[in-house]
Amino acid sequence: MTIAERLIARLREAGLDLPEGSRLVRIYPSPAMRNEGAWSWSAFGPGGRELQIGSQYPMAELLAAERLDTMQVMSGAVGTDTDVFPAMACQRCQGTAVTACRICRTQLCGPCLTDHHHEGYGTPTSN
Ligand SMILES: [Zn+2]
Ligand SMILES: [Zn+2]
């Protein structure tokens, strides 16, 4: 299977609606567009219908991720797009991490972050 076919299978496992015959098309955004979060691929259904599913992460990077997460993002007149990204795992409990500690860069979920302290540095804040 190609990288795109394997990623389609992963996306279906993650609960995304990709009908039979869907394909993922690579996009080559300029570096400036990439900084603004431009997608590096986008999904098309049978007949070339835009599925409004894509990611700024390259397909290979998503395939390498242990878990995928998705987020609905508003995209002007056409409604919502589904953004795919690698889920970060909390390094203490393996839950879904929401942030990384500013001091030691450990990825943590909300409850673990609350318990996470560094002697002499005070409590890391979540913002
Ligand atoms: Zn945790
Ligand atoms: Zn820390």
Q: What is the pLDDT of residues 24-74, one digit of tens each?
A: 999 988 888 877 878 999 999 999 999 999 999 999 999 998 888 888 888
Shared domain for 25 and 51, answered yes or no, is: yes
Shared domain for 78 and 121, answered yes or no, is: no
The residues near 53 (Cβ < 8 Å, ≥ 6 apart) are 11, 16, 18, 42, 43, 81, 82, 84
Shared domain for 103 and 49, answered yes or no, is: no
What's the CA-to-centroid distance between 120 and ligand 2, angstroms?
12
Pair type for strands 41-44 and 23-26: antiparallel
Handedness of CA 92, 61, 14, 3 (dihedral sign): negative
Residues whose beta carbons lie less than 5 angstroms from ion ligand 2: 101, 103-104, 106
Shared domain for 40 and 80, answered yes or no, is: yes
What's the CA-to-centroid distance between 100 and ligand 2, angstroms?
8
Ligand whose nearest atom lies closest to the CA of 89: 1
Residues whose beta carbons lie less than 5 angstroms from ion ligand 1: 90, 92-93, 95, 109, 112
- Look up residue 108 and give its amino acid: L
**Which pLDDT belongs to residue 36?**
81
Give the percent of the chain with pLDDT over 70: 92
Ligand whose nearest atom lies closest to the CA of 123: 2
The mean pLDDT value of the chain amounts to: 87
Decide if 3 contacts 10 (C-beta within 8 A): no
Shared domain for 57 and 92, answered yes or no, is: no
Shared domain for 82 and 96, answered yes or no, is: no
Name the residue range of residue 126's domain: 88-127
Q: What is the pTM of this model?
A: 0.69
Quote the number of domains for the chain: 2
Mean pLDDT of 4-11: 96
Shared domain for 21 and 70, answered yes or no, is: yes
